[in-house]
């Protein structure tokens, strides 16, 4: 791979005071750039741009909630981002997906006016079958391909029981970014999760409900080293390259042993 980015969520820190440490860790590990999320965006964009320049990192995208992302366009412009992504949305059925697609088109049109492509990132829930079409496919069918792209999380795709390579080939041109992640086994489509339910404590740590904790425990069980799971990464990259994927972003949500840093170190060594 020519360039490898890391989703900053991978450092398991929701405290903005740890931003500098985490950016330096990303650079130390050898990543070329980053995908930003919540606590990173608490920084003034000019200060963040200076920090990225100092560490030699390029910001490729950011994640924000659907109700906040349009307001982040000036922030993204300051950083020179080409992509902005919605990391998750509550999509329990086909009607919700069609309604959300209207919103994606609206936000995507505004992003496009500023030279930015809006993307949507999947978990397993977007592979829920609704009468022969998956939620993610319904979003694709009802969104403007010139304004709305998709960030395929290959690990969650495989965990849902869907071959990410076949999915990319079936939807050529819609996949703009890829989260490269491993899955040790098929977990199946998990119940739709509402990101609005996420709460953060005073210590900056996310406070999960019992239901969320149970879902996380199920996800942890499928966590494994890069190359030891379900996905043929060479074939995945070939398929994604052929349809114009702009960037590959490593995301490590859980550890299989050691720390997140240890796992990311093994990840980048494998993907390089």
Q: Render pLDDT for 129-175 as a digit per residue (tens, 0 to 9).
A: 999 999 999 999 999 999 999 999 999 999 999 999 999 999 999 99
Radius of gyration for the chain, computed over Cα atoms and rounded to the nearest angstrom: 17
Q: Is the pLDDT of residue 187 over 80?
A: yes
The reported pLDDT for the residue numbered 215 is 77
**Under DSSP, is residue 44 helix (H, G, I), strand (E, B) or coil?**
coil
Over residues 31-48, the pLDDT tens digits come to 999 999 999 999 999 999
The reported pLDDT for the residue numbered 192 is 85
**Residue that is written with structure tokens 């829920």 in the block:** 128
The reported pLDDT for the residue numbered 140 is 99
Q: Is the pLDDT of residue 204 over 70?
A: no
**For the chain, what percent of residues have pLDDT higher than 70?**
97
The reported pLDDT for the residue numbered 168 is 99
Count of residues making up the chain: 272
**Residue that is written with structure tokens 């939807």 in the block:** 171
Over residues 219-238, the pLDDT tens digits come to 787 889 999 999 999 999 99
**Domain residue spans in the chain?**
5-271
**Residue that is written with structure tokens 């995908």 in the block:** 35
The rounded distance, in Å, linking the Cα atoms of 48 and 19 is 9
CA geometry: angle 48, 49, 55, nearest 5 deg = 90
**Under DSSP, is residue 249 helix (H, G, I), strand (E, B) or coil?**
strand
Q: Residue 214: pLDDT band by 50, 70, 90 thresholds? A: confident
Beta-carbon contacts of residue 150 (< 8 Å; ≥ 6 apart)? 119, 120, 121, 122, 136, 139, 140, 171, 174, 175, 176, 177
Average pLDDT over residues 106-134: 98
The rounded distance, in Å, linking the Cα atoms of 19 and 14 is 9
Q: Residue 210: pLDDT band by 50, 70, 90 thresholds? A: confident
The reported pLDDT for the residue numbered 222 is 86
**Residue that is written with structure tokens 């809006």 in the block:** 118
The reported pLDDT for the residue numbered 1 is 60
The reported pLDDT for the residue numbered 11 is 97
Per-residue DSSP letters for 185-221? S---PPPP--GGG-EE-TTS-EE--HHHHHHHHHHHT
Among 81, 80, 68, 67, smallest CA distance to 42 is for 68
| Residue 149 near residue 177, CB atoms below 8 Å | yes
Q: Which CATH architecture has domain 5-271?
A: Alpha-Beta Barrel (3.20)
């Amino acid at each position: 791979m020519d360039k490898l980015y890391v989703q900053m969520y991978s450092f398991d820190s929701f405290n903005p005071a740890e931003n500098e440490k985490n950016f330096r860790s990303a650079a130390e590990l050898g990543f070329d750039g980053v995908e930003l999320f919540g606590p990173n965006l608490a920084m003034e964009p000019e200060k963040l741009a200076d920090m990225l320049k100092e560490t030699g990192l390029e910001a490729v995208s950011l994640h924000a909630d659907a109700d906040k992302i349009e307001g982040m366009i000036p922030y993204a412009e300051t950083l020179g981002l080409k992509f902005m992504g919605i990391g998750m949305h509550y999509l329990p059925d086909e009607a919700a997906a069609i309604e959300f697609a209207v919103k994606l088109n609206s936000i995507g049109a505004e992003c496009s006016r500023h030279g930015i492509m809006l993307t949507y990132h999947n978990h397993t829930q977007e592979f829920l079958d609704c009468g022969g079409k998956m939620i993610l496919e319904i979003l694709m069918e009802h969104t403007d391909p010139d304004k709305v792209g998709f960030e395929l999380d290959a690990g969650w795709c495989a965990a849902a029981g869907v071959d990410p390579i076949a999915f990319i080939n079936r939807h050529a041109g819609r996949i703009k970014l890829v989260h490269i992640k491993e899955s040790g086994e098929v977990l199946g489509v998990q119940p739709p999760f509402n990101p609005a339910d996420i709460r953060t404590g005073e210590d900056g740590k996310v406070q999960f409900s019992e239901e969320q904790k149970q879902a996380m425990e199920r996800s942890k069980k499928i966590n494994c080293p890069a190359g030891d799971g379900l996905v043929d990464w060479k074939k995945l990259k070939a398929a994604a390259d052929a349809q114009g994927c702009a960037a590959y972003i490593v995301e490590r949500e859980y550890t299989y042993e050691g720390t997140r840093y240890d796992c990311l170190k093994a990840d980048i060594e494998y993907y390089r």
